[in-house]
């Protein structure tokens, strides 16, 4: 994974937060997209994982967790946090 993907993950890991009912609606959509994107990253990683090495020439340990799995988990967690944060936060009153 490149530096751009890492930067994008860090930016999106904050989730989406709304301050009034209209902004919260869009924030919920953004959080749902984060969850879907994280799930897609996890699914793509699982679908393209090479078969387990079983034999005398295999290395002693190979981690089953890859960078795409971590990125997917961070995006899903950020989306869930954003939804919970928006649901429990009061709307900000305007100056009108």
State pLDDT tens for residues 29-44: 888 999 999 999 999 9
Domain positions in the chain are: 21-47+62-86
Q: Are 82 and 16 in contact (CB under 8 A)?
A: yes
Q: Residue 8 class from Cβ within 10 Å (0-12 exposed, 13-18 middle, 19+ buried)? A: middle
**Could you tell me which residue, 35 or 49, shows the higher pLDDT?**
35
Total-model pTM: 0.72
For 55: left if phi > 0, alpha if psi spans -120 to 50, otherwise beta; the answer is left
The backbone torsions φ and ψ at residue 74, rounded to the nearest 5 degrees and listed phi first, read -65, -45
pLDDT at 73: 93
DSSP state of 51: P
pLDDT at 11: 62
pLDDT at 87: 83
pLDDT at 15 over 90: no
pLDDT at 80: 92
């Amino acid at each position: 994974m490149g530096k751009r993907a890492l930067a994008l993950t860090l930016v999106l890991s904050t989730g989406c937060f709304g301050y009034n009912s209209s902004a919260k609606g869009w924030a919920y959509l953004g959080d749902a997209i984060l969850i879907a994107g994280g799930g897609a990253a996890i699914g793509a990683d699982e679908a393209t994982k090479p078969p387990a090495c079983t034999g005398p020439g295999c290395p002693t340990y190979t981690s089953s967790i890859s960078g795409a799995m971590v990125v997917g988990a961070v995006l899903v967690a950020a989306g869930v946090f954003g939804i919970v944060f928006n649901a429990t936060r009061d709307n900000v009153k305007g100056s009108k």
